[in-house]
Amino acid sequence: SLIEQYGPRESMEYDVVIVGGGPAGLSSAIRLKQLAQEKGVEIGVCVLEKGSEVGAHILSGAVMDPRALNELLPDWKQNGAPLDVEVTEDRFLFLTQDSAKQVPNWLLPDNFKNHGNYVVSLANVTRWLGQQAEALGVEIFPGFPAAEVLYNEDGSVRGVVTGNMGVG
């Protein structure tokens, strides 16, 4: 174990520790803080992110349906979410060695229709979600990979040990 290898370490206590500062982890942190505010309670939420910054390990572009964002942060447009390029047209092509045949859009299942969706840099969306989380009081620790899970006697999770970047 890392504790046996490196000895005692500084510890910090939180009500909730989320491992991974991607879209799902940040959305979870935001929702927890929103629910706590609605109930008038204070909870400590932190996000551990192994990358040097939030979004550092998110490399892809994406076509994003804003439905979940509408539910999580209804004022995302006013708050500068980086969803700037709306999909204006869908083309689905069957490619052969020397031609391309377009499928009429009315034949496509709904999951191939992107009207109302946005073409995004997922890294930029993730960075923006990180800013929204911090504005709600979530503490984000980039450069801290979770290296080991700590358990209580009864098997429940007590916490995590963070590794040093590049050490594990």
pLDDT digits (tens, 9 = 90+) for 25-73: 999 999 999 999 999 999 999 999 999 999 998 888 899 999 999 999 9
What are the pLDDT digits (tens) for 71-109? Answer: 999 999 999 999 999 999 888 899 999 999 999 888 888
Residue of 14, 52, 22, 15 whose CA lies nearest to 129: 22
29-58 burial by CB neighbour count: b if 16+ within 10 A, else e?
A: bbbbbeebeeeeeeeebbbbbbbeebbbeb
Q: Starting at the earlier edge strand, list the strands of the sheet with 16-19.
A: 16-19, 45-49, 139-142
Show the domains of the chain with their CATH numbers. Answer: 2-81+121-162 (3.50.50.60)
Enter the pTM of the model. Answer: 0.84
Inter-residue contact 21 to 142 (CB < 8 Å): yes
**Euclidean distance between CA atoms 3 and 17, whole angstroms:** 19
